[in-house]
Structures are given as structure tokens and as C-alpha cells.
Chain A
Amino acid sequence: MRRKLTFALMSLAMLISALPLWAHHAFAAEFDAKKTVKVRGKIAKVELINPHSWLHVDVDNPDGTTTHWMFEAGTPNVLLRRGFNKNSLPVGTEVIVEGFQAKDGSPRANGRDITFPDGKKIFMGSSVPGEGPPPDAAKQ
């Protein structure tokens, strides 16, 4: 019983750590914590807007069509204060994005993680000294 409880608490902790740090509105209002999604595509647009930023990713489908995914992100003001800017996630970069899909099943999700297809984490852009992108990052 105790082991089950520990496992349940650990699972809960993992779930909480995967959810947004804080939001203008309640996560559960729109997104389903049980409905994880993982897509691979190219960044189409980064909107540093309030109350939440949005990352747009174009995902090519096997039938030749493209699905435009939108990932809800954090509030931009604190990021901007720490040096994050519109160049930090360049348009056209190929990425893998993970998140929790909207309850209505549309290609909209609350974002959780971004990586490059080769497994490297997304770079910082040139906004933090010494933490710039690899020279060929934009071509990846």
C-alpha cells in the first residue's frame, strides 16, 4: 500500500512538473493532461503576446498536406526581461514539440518541451552571451 502511495505521489509530481509553471488561466480549462502529443515540423511563427505566447509549427503529413499546430507557451514579459527575444526561436527551424492537446481535438496544445530532431535541445539564439546557436543551427 505504501509503495502504491509513493508511486502515486511520484506520478503526480511528474505530472505537475510537466504542466505549465504558471498561467493566466487554468490549464484544465482547455487542455487534457492525459492527451499528450508529439509533433515534428518547422517553426512557422512565434507570437510573443499576452496573456500567453504561441508557437506555430507546420507539420507535413504523409499525404502531402500540412497541419498547422499551435502550442500555447508562457507569458512573454518575464522572458523578455531575461533576454529572450523573437530571434531566440527562428522561423523555419525544424523541431520536435511535445505538449498536451486541447480537449476539442483541434491541432492546438499546451507546449511542454522542444528539441531538435537529432535530440539536441533548442538553442538560445544570440541573446545570452556565450550561449548562441550552433553556426549551422538554422539549416538543421
Chain B
Amino acid sequence: MHTIHRTSILTTSGLIAGGLALVLFASVASGQASKGVPPSEANHFIGTPAGWVHPKTPWGDPDLQGLWPLSYVGSTMMQRCGGDQGRPGPPNCDPNRAFRTEEEYKAALAAAAKQVDRYADNAKQGEAGRAFLTGLLDFTVPQRQTSLIVDPPNGRLPEMTAEGKRLSALMKSSWPLPGETLVWDSPTDFDTWDRCITRGMPASMFPFRYNNGVQILQVPGYVIINLEMIHDSRIVPVNGLPPLSGAIKQWMGVSRGRWEGNTLVVETTNFKAGASGVNIATVGAPPGNRFPTSEQMRITERITRLNHDFLLYEIKTEDPVVLTRSWTARFPLKLDNEFRMEEYGCHEGNRAIPDWISSSRAERAAQAAAAKQ
């Protein structure tokens, strides 16, 4: 009975996804003026004005260029009805409700408008030093959707396979699981983000607390997705380049893109396993930075510009080794060419690794000395 119910949910989800794709393509047929599409749940409340013509590059590709910071959706929980880093979510949350009501959305906007800009407030009081020492976050904007994940229908990450759980238990990080005490003796005792190597995929395409810059650049035959955090640049050929040998593995995978109407579809494979697939710096992600990925992971992104200021971004992750089913996130991103994407050299200034090891050893030595007394 349970299986039948689950199948019907999956089928419904598939129909919704298919319907959404049709709506998107109908709204922005290549090179033609849009007939206009009103905001609705299907387009995440990003409408397309009648008469709008999708911009093109000089060589005729749909033009997606600009800065699209992920912080636009940075306050939206990755997983529905959950708290941050595995904490309990809000009481009476309805896992079947993917969008806020109009009243709830307006209330969230009003609450956000009252929030103090911590830096401006500190500066006003002459406390810039505290902002410098304790850090600042990128600005975020409340959204209509209740989670970034839209499939599974409950808006949550799917269950791991037995192998996924085994791999997860082998992963290392500076980020403890609840109740866990970690020790470090080697750089390999840390995760790839701790070590400034990569956030990996799909984690890199989700909002973080800070450093949310995403820049799309285009040249004939290629789209470049330039990321502020860890300064990863994803080079996506859209010129029919054949796939690379499966022997070549990279942290960010190997991408191949194509245009379906005005939608950029990017398929990425050839992953080097080991980075956490989701990162604790995304609000509502699980704790511990130990969500494994395998070389079998396959990621499909669909990027569709719905009007001058907004695009709808969708990312689907399949990994039969680690996950019992695929999962998909979808959210709008807003053009913000005033966003200053700063340099992010990280490894060079990452004193943390030797400092952590030194602290960990000192802590254990102190505990051992105390135990002897």
C-alpha cells in the first residue's frame, strides 16, 4: 500500500515537472515576443511580460550574462519543515505545502524590512570593529516557496542507500554531528571545504551564508558559470563537444550544455567522489558536511530566463550509489549587476588546518594529563 502511494506521488511529481517545462517553453519561445505569462506557482511567481523578447548574444545564443547572486534565496530552507543543520523545524509545518500563502509572504517581507542591517547599525554606533571580527552575511530576500527542494514532493533530501550511509560514516570534517567530538591529526581529517579545495556539486550551486556571487559569462560555444566561493569556474561547452572519457574525474565534474529553446540545459558527469553533496552553510542543510557523492552522480541543470530581471534555476541530482532516488531543487535568481563579486583565494590564507591540528593535539594532551592525576 505504501509503495503504491509513493509511486503515485512520483508520477504526479513527474507530471508537474513536465508541465512546468511546457509552461516555460511556451512563455519564451526562441527569438519571439512573449505572449505574456502571469506569475504562478508553476513559474515560482516570476511572470513574463507580454511583448518581452529574450535577449540574444551577438552570435545568436540566448543571453544569460550577468550577476545572479544565490543570496536572493539565501533565507529559504533547503529542506521543507526542517530546522537548520538537522534541528527541529517549525511546529505545525505542512510538508505538503510548497508555497507560502499571499498573507504569509507579505508578512515575511514586512518582517525582513524591519531587520537591521547589522553592519550599517554597527557602523552608526561606531562598532565596525565588531562587524569585522564576527563577520557579516550577504543580504537575503524572503521567497514564496517553503523549501529550495521541490522533489521529492515533501521538499526533503531523499534517504541514502546502505552504501550511501556507509560512505557518509567514512567522511571527515571540522563540522561535528550532534554530540560528536572530533579530533584532527592530518589535513585528510578535514572536508574539502575546510581545506579550501571545493564545495563540490551540487553544493556549489546552493546559497551560502556569504560569498554568494554567481556570474554567467558567454563566448561563442561556451557558457561560464563563475562562482565567488572557492572561485570555481564551471566551463560549459554548448557547441556539441563530445563527452570526455569516463576515466577523467573532477571535483566539479565535466559539463556539457545545449539550448532547448531559450533554456540552457547542462548535464554534468565525471565526478571525483569525496566532496559533500550539500554543505552546512546552506540554510536547512543537514549537519556534519557528510552527504556523500559517488563517481556515478549525474546532475542536470535547467536555466531559463523568464524576464529581464529573473531566471528560474533548476538542478536535479541522481546518484544511484548513494541515494534511493533523485532530488531536484528549483528557485528564482535575480539579476544584480551591482553585486561586487570579490576575489576568493582561500588555500593561501587558510591557517586553519595547522591551527586546528595544533589545538586538537593540545586538547587531547591536556585531557590525558588530567586523567593521569
Contact = CB atoms under 8 A, between A and B. Distances in A.
B124 to A, nearest CB: 7
A25 B356 contact: yes
A81 B132 contact: no
B356 A22 contact: no
Given A80-B342, A128-B123, A111 B133 contact: yes
A21 B339 contact: no
6 contacts: A24-B346, A29-B184, A30-B355, A75-B210, A84-B132, A112-B130
A45 to B, nearest CB: 13
A37 interface: no
Contacts of B128: 84, 88-89, 122-125
Interface in B335-354: 339-340, 342-346, 348-352
B129 A51 contact: no
A61 B194 CA distance: 35
Q: How large is the interface on B (under 10, 10 to 19, 20 to 34, 35 or more residues)?
A: 35 or more
B208 to A, nearest CB: 9
B132 A88 contact: yes
B362 interface: yes
A124 B349 contact: no
A13 interface: no
A84 B131 CA distance: 10
Nearest to B342: A77
Contacts of A63: none
Interface string B209-243: 11101000000000000001000000000000000
Nearest to A134: B126
B125 interface: yes
Give the 8 A-B CB pairs with smallest separation, nearest first. Answer: A74-B135, A114-B129, A122-B129, A111-B133, A49-B349, A104-B362, A103-B359, A77-B342
A75 B356 CA distance: 18
Contacts of A28: 176
B120 to A, nearest CB: 8
B349 to A, nearest CB: 4
A80 B182 contact: no
Contacts of B126: 120-124, 131
Given A50-B344, A78-B138, A82-B119, A22 B209 contact: yes
Interface string B350-372: 11100110111111000000000
A65 interface: no
Given A29-B184, A122-B126, A112 B133 contact: yes
Nearest to A22: B209
A103 to B, nearest CB: 4
B370 to A, nearest CB: 14
B350 A81 contact: no
A102 interface: yes
Interface in A37-54: 47, 49-54
A79 interface: yes
